[in-house]
Amino acid sequence: MSIGVASDARGRRERRPLKQLFLIAFAVLLSGCAGVQSALDPAGTEAEAVATLFWVMVAGGTLIWIAVMGGFYYATRIKREPHSERAAGRLILWGGAVFPVVVLTLLLAYGLSLMPKLRPWTAVAEEPALRIEVTGEQFWWRVTYHRAGEDPVVAANEIRLPVGERVVFTLKSADVVHSFWIPSLGGKMDMIPGRDNTLTLEATRTGIYRSPCAEFCGSSHALMVFSTVVMEPDAFDDWLAREARPSPGAKADGLDAFLRNGCQACHAITGTEANGVIGPDLSHVGSRDTLGAGILQNEIDSYVALIRRPDVIKPGIRMPGFHGLPDEEIETIARYLKGLE
């Protein structure tokens, strides 16, 4: 598919004098559409449908552009004698009015026909098998899994899904407008204070996908990301069951240090007395793909850095810095948290 883009770009740029720029552009386009955050590398039904729609429109758009600019070039540079006013008037009628009406009608029919399947016209009535409630907060994600007939499971900054199953998301915001977006699976849906939005997505391919906040939400908007982990259904069920139980490492050494420094005022760890609800739930933080809402690798050093100077890592974060603590104390807490798997 990337080849298609490249040759179309070549078509447009051939006449220009700066060949080197063309070569760079060509290389850029060749670098492809793949990626863990790419809408053009779909791993979900909605993303697939939209990617196809996109390529169809690119093809049509390219032809139209060439035709119109060709017409302009002919009219200004090639023709020797003026054409009659009648012929020119017919061009306006057919080119400017009839052709767009026909093409746009067809495109609209195609585009809108996708909608009922991707995002149902009416709200989902009964409680679905799996509903995930995600609340955007500056600058992280509160995630709660609702399985029919089971207790909700609270997590943060990572979303796991079973492949091949339609999952319903309830999207909320605790402060400002955020937007929930997993480019590989489908389009976005805003999280607006005072409103509950609903989105359904179906993943078609297992893997880990990066999912950034898509509505500007303040200083660290760029640093508000989560990982979407699409798993085989069995593996997902096992994982969710594990997630519902306390981590084996919950009572390990380091819990004292965690509590001693007041971390539980904001953070909760199941199976301990830490039950704060202001910041992200840390019950299984050690097993997440990333740390700090998608911006750091999940390793001891990241914990240390985050505990010490969170405002440096993430401007505008509400967590206070603990750089006043002795290094060993921070290290102890970091090891403890990394052990929460």
| Shortest spacing between CB 237 and other proteins, in angstroms | 29
| Shortest spacing between CB 174 and other proteins, in angstroms | 10
| Shortest spacing between CB 47 and other proteins, in angstroms | 7
Which one-letter DSSP state was computed for residue 287? Answer: G
Query: Containing H/E element for 132?
Result: strand 130-137
Chain centre to alpha carbon of residue 332: 33
Q: Which 144-203 residues touch other proteins, going by CB under 8 A? A: 171, 175-177, 179, 181, 183, 186-190, 192-195, 197-198
| Shortest spacing between CB 262 and other proteins, in angstroms | 24
Q: What torsion do the CA atoms of 54, 57, 62, 68 make, to the nearest 10 degrees?
A: -150
Query: Containing H/E element for 161?
Result: strand 158-162
Identified binder of other proteins from the candidate list 142, 146, 160, 210, rule CB under 8 A: 210
| Shortest spacing between CB 144 and other proteins, in angstroms | 19
Residue 155 vs 317, nearer CB to other proteins: 317
Calculate helix-pair angle for 327-338, 300-308, nearest 10 degrees. 130
Identified binder of other proteins from the candidate list 31, 126, 151, 234, rule CB under 8 A: 31
Residue written as tokens 């999952």? 167
Peptide bond into 139 cis (omega under 30): yes
Which one-letter DSSP state was computed for residue 167? Answer: E
Q: Tell me how far apart the alpha carbons of residues 203 and 164 are, in angstroms, rounded to a whole number.
A: 6
DSSP 3-state percent helix, strand, coil across the chain (nearest 5): 40, 20, 40
Q: Which 73-132 residues touch other proteins, going by CB under 8 A? A: 74-77, 79, 82-85, 87-89, 91-92, 95-97, 99-101, 104, 107-108, 111-112, 114-116, 118-121
Greatest C-alpha distance within the chain: 90
Residue 14 vs 151, nearer CB to other proteins: 14
Residue 88 vs 252, nearer CB to other proteins: 88
Q: Which 261-280 residues touch other proteins, going by CB under 8 A? A: none
Identified binder of other proteins from the candidate list 152, 262, 316, 320, rule CB under 8 A: 316
Tokens matching residue 250: 């919950």
Stretch that binds other proteins, among 44-52, 159-167, 226-234, 251-259 (CB under 8 A): 44-52
Q: How many C-beta atoms surround the C-beta of residue 74 within 10 A? A: 11
Identified binder of other proteins from the candidate list 3, 4, 7, 18, rule CB under 8 A: 18
| Shortest spacing between CB 230 and other proteins, in angstroms | 16
Identified binder of other proteins from the candidate list 61, 152, 233, 262, rule CB under 8 A: 61
Residue 270 vs 298, nearer CB to other proteins: 298
Calculate helix-pair angle for 99-118, 45-73, nearest 10 degrees. 170
Stretch that binds other proteins, among 124-132, 216-224, 261-269, 329-337 (CB under 8 A): 216-224
* Binding-site size, other proteins (CB under 8 A): 102
Site membership for other proteins, residue 281 (CB under 8 A): no
What is the edge-to-edge ordering of all strands in the sheet holding 225-231? 158-162, 225-231, 207-212
| Shortest spacing between CB 175 and other proteins, in angstroms | 7
| Shortest spacing between CB 306 and other proteins, in angstroms | 16
Q: Tell me how far apart the alpha carbons of residues 25 and 2 are, in angstroms, rounded to a whole number.
A: 12
Q: Which residues contact 336 (CB under 8 A, 6 or more apart)?
A: 249, 252, 253, 254, 255, 257, 258
